[in-house]
Amino acid sequence: MKLRDYQIEISDKACALIKKHKIAYLSMQVRTGKTLTALETVAKCKVKNVLFVTKKKAIGSIEGDYQHYKDKFDMLVINYEQLHKIHDDYDLIIVDEAHSIGQFPKPSDRTIELKKICFNKPIIYLSGTPSPESYSQLFHQFWISSFSPFPHSNFYQWVKSGYVQVGVKYFFNRQIPDYKNARKDMIEDKVKHLFLSYTQEEAGFKEEVKEIFHYIGINPMTSHLIHKLRRDRVLYYPSDDNAVIEADTEVKLMNKLHQMYSGTVITDNGTKLIDNSKINYIGDKYKGKKIALYYKFKGEYDVITQYCKKNLIPYTEIVTEFANMETGWFLSQIQSGREGINLSTADCMVMYNIDFSAVSYWQARARLQSKDRIKKVEVHWIFSTDGIEKNIYKAVNNKKNYTLSYFRQDERKRHPI
């Protein structure tokens, strides 16, 4: 295995940061080789026992990279959901997709668990998007370290020290504090020396992601059901007297429409298939291709797998299996497969639906990218002609989460008062 020159250089700098500050944050864009750079850093620092915390779908790929270093140090790779099982002591912790522990104002349970494990341990952080929505997301990432550049015991103390300009927002007509407006310059002054950044352009990536949009007409009955739900806020599923679809709040309506425009809906009596237009289009359009197919809802997964079985299309949810397939489909839920996996052997990525999260958008669309990829990097979006997917896309493409306020605006445009 031969590392690229920039990986060698960054690992040298990261090792120096670990020795001096006990923290190194590799803010390297997706597909630039963060994992190997981190492992090379560990080897240079002569650490012997490492814990690598990541997302579940990324474990196989990371363990594959570790094979090049297994004679230099011991390493356990686990996913975040397994943190409570860790009782052994480690010399260094690698925190992959570190932005996922950046919730605020209160830390998540797994962030609290990780803080215990990281007590008095050096940490290598990995993320292509350290603060995708707000610089406030950095506080708890560093809070898990005993050597944090912020001495504050909790987020609220940090806010009181002036790192955030507190605003207000409304949740169900209730006014609550808004902590998103963090003071970038003030925060960077404390943390910028800990970051080592690298972009795809610097790494020599030649292919930009090309996005292609497909607009699919849905069945007239589906349109009728959607219209009734918008109007009445309740819908009795026509083929099942016991199934009811309720949308008595705007949040419920937004989520039900999100489901229905892609062909499934969760009722009080289980998930129902109401329209197979999208899966039929995908099956015809990408027949014989090797595609990475991302879905949003469990009902969509069921529709896809049933179609694959019926039409003898090979499919897998394991990245290493997909890499060795000539044709077939890799299936993943958007959030669980948006980070840490390499799908560069796919002909293209197909998005059955779209997530409300801007992070999901930017991370998932990069799974096909690789410095050595020869094929064009194409992401195909399958939108219903009159659906809300295109509105969600506009928000996340602009690095904004699709929230209730956006939904309200879009619904008013559709049905002006």
- For residues 242 and 233, the answer to whether their CB atoms sit within 8 Å is no
Instruction: Please choose, from the candidates 76, 57, 56, the residue with its C-alpha nearest in 3D space to the C-alpha of residue 66.
Output: 76
Q: How far is 375 from 398, CA to CA, in rounded Å?
A: 26
Q: Is the pTM for the entire model greater than 0.75?
A: no
The listed range with the strongest mean pLDDT (129-133, 157-161, 204-208, 408-412) is 157-161
Q: Which residues pair with 315 in a beta bridge?
A: 329
> Who's near 46: CB < 8 A, 6+ residues apart?
none
Contact 125, 24 (CB under 8 A): yes
> Over 70: is that where the pLDDT of 192 sits?
yes
Reported confidence tier of residue 207, pLDDT bands at 50, 70, 90 = low
Cα angle vertex 191, ends 190, 196, to 5°?
150
Contact 358, 190 (CB under 8 A): no
* 208 confidence band (pLDDT: 50, 70, 90): confident
Q: How confident is the prediction for the chain on average, in pLDDT?
A: 91
Mean pLDDT of 67-87: 95
Length of the chain (residues): 417
Assess whether pLDDT exceeds 80 at residue 170: no
User: Are the beta carbons of 381 and 389 closer than 8 angstroms?
Assistant: yes
Q: How many helices (H) and strands (E) does the chain have?
A: 16, 18
Q: Using DSSP bridges, classify how beta strands 167-171 and 92-95 pair: parallel, antiparallel or unpaired.
A: unpaired
Q: Where are the alpha helices (DSSP H) in 45-183?
A: 59-66, 109-117, 138-143, 155-158
pLDDT for the residue 201: 67
Give the C-alpha separation, 255 to 259, whole Å: 6
User: How far apart are alpha carbons 320 and 59 in whole angstroms?
Assistant: 11
pLDDT tens-digit readout, 323-367: 999 999 999 999 888 877 888 889 999 999 999 998 888 888 777
Rounded to an integer, the average pLDDT of 373-386 is 86
Would you say 414 and 313 are in contact if contact means Cβ atoms under 8 Å apart? Answer: no
Q: What is the mean pLDDT of residues 153-159?
A: 97
Q: What tens digit of pLDDT does each residue of 239-295 get? A: 766 789 999 999 999 999 999 999 999 998 889 999 999 999 999 999 999 999 999
Q: CATH 3.40.50.300 occupies which residues in the chain? A: 209-219+275-414
* Range 209-219+275-414 classified under CATH 3.90.700.10: no
First-residue to last-residue Cα distance in the chain: 64
Q: Say how many C-beta atoms besides its own lie within 10 A of residue 161's C-beta.
A: 12
- pLDDT the model gives residue 416: 65
In the chain, CATH 3.40.50.10810 sits at: 5-203
Rounded distance between C-alpha atoms, residue 61 and residue 222, angstroms: 41
Task: Give Cβ neighbours of residue 27 (< 8 Å, ≥ 6 apart).
Answer: 127, 128, 130, 195, 196, 197, 198
Choosing among 3.40.50.10810, 2.60.40.10, 3.40.50.10490, 3.30.390.30, the CATH entry for 5-203 is 3.40.50.10810
pLDDT the model gives residue 391: 97
